[in-house]
Structures are given as C-alpha cells and as structure tokens.
Structure 1
Amino acid sequence: MFKPSIHVAIGLLFYRGKVLVGWRNADQHQGNKYEFPGGKVEEGETPVGACRREIFEEVGIGIQQWHAFDVIHHDYEDVEVFLHIFHAAVPEQCLADIQKPWAWYTRDQLLELNFPKANKEIIQRLYWSHQIKISDQLSAYATAKKDQLFYWRIEPTHEAMAQLNQFDHLDQYDLSQLMVNIDVWQQLPEAIQKKIQTIHFKQHQLMNLTVGQLPIGIRCIAACHDPVSLQHAQQLGFDAVILSPVLKTQTHPETVALGWEKFSNYAKTCDIPVFALGGLTQNDLQLAQQNHAYGIAGIRHF
C-alpha cells in the first residue's frame, strides 16, 4: 500500500532548562495531543529554513542560530513521516513575544504529556535521569540503579580499551543508561555505538570543538569548570553539562571548589540541564536542585 511521505521541521526551544510545548487541535493530524512547534517542509525549502519560518509563524519569535538535533523516521498507518529536529535557546528578550497557547514545561513533565508516537524518541532524549554514577569499573554498570546514568570513566589506553570485549557480553542488555567519553565511543563497533545514547566530553575536548562538530542523533554532555566553558557548551548545542567541583573532594583536594553560591550563579543562567559534581552524596539532590541544578553526579558516594 502506497503511503505519502511528509518531511516535517521541528524546533525544540529551551529556556532555563524548560522546553516549549503546545497543543494540537482536534482537526489536525494526530489531534488532541501535545506538540513541539514546527510544520511541513515546503517544496524548495531546507529543513532548517522551514524550522525558522514555522517558529516565527507559530511561536512569534525569530531564531536564526539552530543546532541539528536528530532526524527521525516514523511510519503511521496512513503516512510516512520524517522529522527534521533542531534546537535553540530562547533569548530572554524574546520571552514576551511568545504567542499563546505555547507554554514552558520541565523535562520531567514531558513524560506525563500525551505526544504523538513519532515524538517518543525526542522525549526520551530530552529527559535525563537526575543522578549520574561515575566509575572506572564497567562491572559497576550492573549495580547502577534504574534511574541512574552510568558514566564509565576510562582513558583510551591500550590496557583500558582491552576491556571493550566486555561489550560483547553487555550487548544483550539495555545500554541506554551507559555513558562513555567521546574517545572511547569512537573506538566501539558501530552496532554498540548505536545502543549508547550519551557521549561525554572533557572540558579540553569541549573547548577544542567548533559549531557543527557534535555528532547528531545522540546526547552529548560536557564537563565544565567555569562560566567560559559553560557558555561554550551551550553555543555548540550540547544537551547537558556537568559543572564541578561544587565542594572539595578527596580525589582532587588541591582543586579550588566552586561552592554552592558560585555554582548557583552559573547554573541559573543555563538553558540546558546542569549536573552538580564534587563532594556530593545521593542525599544532596534536593539541595542541588535548590541551587538550579537539574541533577547530581558522583563517584565514591554513588
């Protein structure tokens, strides 16, 4: 049976960790559901051009700088849809121009909203677990909680990379909560790469990047230690950042800690999720969130 193909441009708009969401009318395809702003790519129009136009027409603001997020293919019973997804931060001066009924939702709230099925992968990527467990032992992945991301922190040395044969065993399990550094991810077999949803970048790796160099279709999180790297991560289109150290740690006692006041001042201006790292326990999540963190990360106490 022949199905028409539709190419749609979607714009994910962020402000202070929240995401802009609207409501699809009953007379529209997949009506009576929540939606992200966007619309059909017209003939002769590029997907990013369609995204700019649709955001201006539907939301009422003009955003020029967009980052590629993903391209998702979905088959409905009556139509084949290709979603060309982009994301951008909304400048504070544009907030008053946003038209109704568009509204801001936290990433946790997105899980409770009824979106079209084609948006499921978008929601999965936008939502982050609120805890990141860090270890250089891959075996600890099995003991991580279901609501924790697990960052396997190793250097890509010959000896460390020899551990990659463990992925042959892990391949039969869900690797969606596993995070590895970009240097490690690049050396994994393509089949395993596709099962890992999050890539980590150290600060020096972040600072060596320019716009357009991030891989598309996978979450990217950057380690930041100051406002310069934090701003650079947002300008490049990272999905989230880990800001550290909040407190002094036993592993790096010589490193000057940010403290909660400085951490809060940095995090509150960030439009993407910020994880607090350094001297924290799992009981510090509420305190971190009071200081504008999305979540927390840790090694010894996790």
Structure 2
Amino acid sequence: MPVIPVETSGDIRRGASRAVVYVRAAVVDEWTAVPELLCDEVVTAAAPDMSTAKFSYRAGVGFVIGGSAYTAHLPLQLDQFQVRVDVYDWENVFQFSWFGIIVNDVRDRYGAEFVPGENETDPDNRVENSWQTLAAYGMEYLFAITKVIVSRIVAPDGVGNEVVGRGLVFNGGRSNARSNPYDAVGNKSAGVSGPNFSAVFDRNIVDTTQQWTTNDIGVYLMANFTPDLGGEEISVRFDTGSAVLDWDEPVIKQDGRYLREIMNELWNIQRYTSYVVGWDDDLHEIVVRVFTFTDVAFDLGGGNTIPANER
C-alpha cells in the first residue's frame, strides 16, 4: 500500500499548500474547499485492503487562513461527507486527486477543553478548543456497506425479469442461499438480461441454462447493486481490461453478504487477481478496475488462462 504523507500537518508546516481538501454532502453538490481541514496522510490500496486518508482540524478560537481577527470555530460535522484531496508536490505541481468518504470523527480529541466564545460573559457560549481528527475510506467503502439480500430472476412469463427477496447462489442450481451443500449446477439465464445487459438467474433449470463465470458475476453485481451516497444511487463502471475470467464456474454464496466481501472472493491473490476502486468526478460514477498479478499470460491447461496484466 503506497503511503503518501502530506506535509501540511506538522506544527511548522501547517501553512504549506501541498494538499487542498474539498468536501460535499451529496454528489449533486458543488465541491467546497476547506483550507483549515489539513490532510495528514493518504494511503492508496488495492483489494483486499482499503485506501484511507487522515485529516486534522483546529477547533476553538483562533485565526482562519487569511483572517485578521480571532473567531470561534466549532468542530466540523462531516460524517458521511464525500471528500476530495488534491495532492501537489513542493513546487505546487498537481499530482493526483484522491476521493473518499469521511466515516470517523475521533471524539477523544487531543487537548480538548472548553474556552469562551465571542461573548465571554455568556457561560453557554463556549467553544471546544482541540485538534479534531477525521478519517476517511476510499470509495470502496460504499461496497463494504452494501448488503445483498435480493436476486434478479427471469419473470414468470419468461420474457422480462423480476426481483426475489433472497440472494441466490451463483452456480448453485435450484439451491437457495440457505441450503448446503449446493447443487453446483449453472443457473444463469441465456435468454433474459437485466440492467446494463447483465445476465439474471434462470427461474428453472432448463436446457438453455448456463454457468456463471467470474466475469458474468462481476457484471451482474455491478449492475444490480448500486451503492448509495448521500441519498443518490451511484452507477458503477466495471472495467476488467484484459483481466477477463470467462472460463471458470465458481459457486458463490451472496445472500446476506456485503458486496465487497463477495468481490474479494471473486478477485484475490489466490486467483492471481485483485481490483482497485476509483471515482470519475466528471461522470459521477465509481470505477472498478480488475487486474492480474502476472506480467505474462498464465496457462492453466484446458484452454484456461490467467491473462497478463496490461495496465
């Protein structure tokens, strides 16, 4: 996991502009710069790890950047806000933007004490004086809180599709998520598609029923379980590049599991694969990029191949 220390949080370098932090409550909102919210660290990561960032904020009575008088600054209330960190080098050349969700406010703040606010004679007008610490996860956090409790199957008329209230087992035949052992029989419909042309579960096991591959399952999950951010459903772009596993037939349980847990079972080091999660700020969508850990194609025999990493 590359760790990018952002040198704006040392006592001597608090005014250095190596990172600019922006926040917004909803995807439809404009980004708002928060100069006093200082980024201490950005950690980028691929699954199964999660990318993170840490921030500090000086709450209490003091100067704002560019201010000329003492003012009161209450602790920030930014839980579940989307955050963007624009990182620059020491010559102020832009390097990259990091996107995430603020998910933690360390309440036991360093040096916390209450001091008088603007009206010193009012005992109720006091301001907590402390360093407030905030933490954020990358956009993959949304997959970690999205639970699978339904499935999309072929409708009774055999033409459209509908949702049933449980997560069926991929390649589990007619088994439901609570049966064990599973049938280990394909249950993907060949004739009906769901959102974004993803496959759906067949209603019955018939001659045209097919096996789900890892790639099929990935397309299905990304199309049918869109994360929620600030009350807005976020679309997901599924980018496998050359890392397409379209020959395997995994049996994958999904009912009651979080989406990220299923994704980590599909793409992991044991299968020479992983993925990273990014954010397209122009299109307002999450981007899932799958990759492999081999620089040359890895032949498993029988026409099955782990593709080379071309990213």
Structure with higher helix content: 1
Q: TM-score, normalised by structure 2?
A: 0.26
Tell me which protein shows more strand as a share of its residues.
Answer: 2
